[in-house]
């Protein structure tokens, strides 16, 4: 392990960043870390994942394997993660040995949709109306209170629309409860939105906060398909979204990145949907259109370095390459203004994020 630079608390080049999770977010973070002279030691249960392919060292073990976690902690200077569902016991075990950034509070808030929405509202930030529902009877009462349409979600471990059921005027509630598939749910009022946006905000070890501009996200089959940067919203809405991001990052005492997914309601109101204390798919455009990408910014924050300039030198449209879409890579490579990023996954399964392409446009020129 390299020595810490005592005055700045920054990790000196040559230090090792421990990364929990071995997917594409870990891969792109590890590449950014390498550019800053750091080594990344990834810890994940899967062999030959996207991150492992580009990391200096990998531990392949279960997140519950305390002997492996102890060796990992001994081998790294700081711990971070590329997914928010790090088991609580794992985060606490590591936090007793090394700094974990962002800290356990960010994980606690982001892992449970009820805790998350309570936290967001406690910061004076609006969400859709919601009720905690832990039985079919409670679901019935909540639907009576919030009305239809509504959305039933599992409180934990839901992503890309998994564990989610729309409650339409004719939906049978017992069936919806079974489909949701968890003993703990949240019922949310359905937001009639103009568009979905997100802001990714970085907060440094010294409390400096730098939000990227709000971007628009379009989904297909519940999976992010396209991000357009910047979002076509009013100046006032953009600054409100950035203000929300700043407030939430400060309230979490975050060191690292926080992605905030929001709805722009037809009324013009901005409502927060979800938080992720890590790099986010809707920030991939920054790799080619900003002076400092979200991945470099993430590593800077976690390593205790000053944050970088986020100056945007182009508009961008990021398109995820999902499943078979990845086979279009030769055509993308031949396209001027397109930047291809592939994740090294062997099998192009349906719904699997295989890579993405960033298409760049002059400032103010992103197609809508």
Q: Of the candidates 73, 143, 191, 321, which one interacts with ligand AMP according to CB under 6 A?
A: 191
Q: Of the candidates 273, 282, 320, 358, which one interacts with ligand AMP according to CB under 6 A?
A: 273
CB under 6 A: which stretch of 117-125, 184-192, 236-244, 289-297 binds ligand AMP? Answer: 184-192
Taking CB under 6 A as the rule, does residue 204 contact ligand AMP?
Answer: no
Dist. CA 93–CA 83, nearest whole Å: 17
Looking at the Cβ atoms of 128 and 215, the one nearer to ligand AMP is 128
Taking CB under 6 A as the rule, does residue 219 contact ligand AMP?
Answer: yes
CB under 6 A: which stretch of 169-177, 186-194, 321-329, 340-348 binds ligand AMP? Answer: 186-194
> Where in 122-141 is the site for ligand AMP (CB under 6 A)?
128
Kindly state the DSSP code that residue 312 receives in the 8-state scheme: B
Looking at the Cβ atoms of 188 and 296, the one nearer to ligand AMP is 188
> Where in 36-55 is the site for ligand AMP (CB under 6 A)?
none
Closest CA to 208 of 249, 240, 243: 249
Closest CA to 203 of 150, 258, 164: 258
Residue with tokens 């005027």: 169
Q: Copy the structure tokens of residue 339.
A: 């930047």
Q: Which residues fall within 8 angstroms of residue 208, CB to CB, at 6 or more apart?
A: 306, 307
Taking CB under 6 A as the rule, does residue 196 contact ligand AMP?
Answer: yes
Taking CB under 6 A as the rule, does residue 151 contact ligand AMP?
Answer: yes
Q: How far is CA 295 from CA 73, 224, 255, 278, 333, in A?
A: 22, 19, 14, 9, 23
Looking at the Cβ atoms of 186 and 205, the one nearer to ligand AMP is 186
Q: Of the candidates 18, 158, 256, 308, which one interacts with ligand AMP according to CB under 6 A?
A: 158
Taking CB under 6 A as the rule, does residue 92 contact ligand AMP?
Answer: no
Between the two ends of the chain, the Cα-to-Cα distance in Å is: 48
Taking CB under 6 A as the rule, does residue 190 contact ligand AMP?
Answer: yes
Q: Which residues fall within 8 angstroms of residue 267, CB to CB, at 6 or more apart?
A: none
CB under 6 A: which stretch of 80-88, 185-193, 237-245, 351-359 binds ligand AMP? Answer: 185-193
Collapsing DSSP to helix, strand or coil, 290 comes out as strand
Looking at the Cβ atoms of 76 and 151, the one nearer to ligand AMP is 151
Closest CA to 196 of 245, 243, 240, 260: 260
Looking at the Cβ atoms of 175 and 222, the one nearer to ligand AMP is 222
Cα torsion angle, 228, 347, 20, 12, sign: negative
Asked if 233 and 333 count as a contact pair (C-beta separation under 8 A), the reply is no
Number of residues that bind ligand AMP (CB under 6 A): 13
Pairing type for strands 4-5 and 130-133 reads unpaired
The minimum distance between CB 126 and ligand AMP, in angstroms, equals: 12
Question: What residue ranges bind ligand AMP (CB under 6 A)?
Answer: 128, 151, 158, 161, 188, 190-191, 196, 219, 222, 261, 273-274
């Amino acid at each position: 392990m390299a020595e810490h630079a005592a005055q700045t608390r920054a990790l000196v080049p040559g230090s090792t960043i421990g990364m929990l999770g071995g997917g594409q977010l870990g891969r792109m973070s590890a590449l950014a870390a390498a550019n800053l002279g750091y080594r990344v030691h990834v810890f994940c249960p899967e062999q030959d994942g996207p991150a492992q392919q580009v990391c200096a060292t990998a531990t392949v073990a279960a997140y519950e394997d305390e002997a492996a976690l102890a060796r990992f902690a001994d081998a790294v200077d700081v711990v971070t993660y590329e997914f928010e569902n790090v088991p609580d016991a794992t985060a606490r075990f590591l936090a007793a040995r090394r700094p974990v950034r962002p800290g356990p509070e960010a994980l606690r808030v982001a892992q449970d949709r009820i805790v998350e929405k309570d936290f967001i509202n406690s910061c004076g930030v609006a969400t859709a109306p919601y009720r905690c529902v832990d039985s079919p009877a409670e679901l019935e009462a909540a639907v009576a209170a919030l009305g239809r349409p509504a959305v039933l979600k599992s409180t934990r471990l839901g992503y890309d629309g998994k564990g989610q059921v729309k409650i339409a005027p004719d939906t049978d509630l017992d069936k919806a409860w079974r489909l949701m598939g968890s003993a703990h749910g949240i019922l949310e009022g359905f937001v009639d939105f103009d568009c979905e946006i997100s802001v990714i905000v970085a907060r440094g070890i010294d409390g400096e906060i730098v939000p990227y501009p709000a971007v628009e996200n379009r989904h297909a089959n519940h999976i992010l398909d396209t991000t357009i940067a910047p979002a076509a919203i009013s100046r006032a809405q953009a600054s409100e979204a950035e203000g929300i991001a700043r407030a939430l990052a400060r309230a979490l005492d975050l060191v690292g990145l926080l992605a905030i997914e929001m709805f722009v309601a037809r009324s013009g109101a901005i409502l927060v949907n979800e938080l992720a204390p890590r790099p986010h798919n809707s920030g991939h455009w920054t790799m080619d259109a900003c002076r400092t990408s979200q991945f470099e910014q993430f590593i800077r924050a976690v390593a205790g370095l000053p944050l970088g300039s986020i100056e945007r030198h182009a508009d961008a449209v990021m398109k995820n390459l999902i499943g078979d879409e990845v086979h279009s890579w030769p055509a993308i490579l031949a396209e001027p203004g397109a930047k291809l990023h592939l994740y090294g996954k062997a099998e192009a399964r349906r719904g699997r994020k295989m890579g993405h392409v960033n298409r760049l446009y002059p400032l103010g020129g992103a197609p809508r």
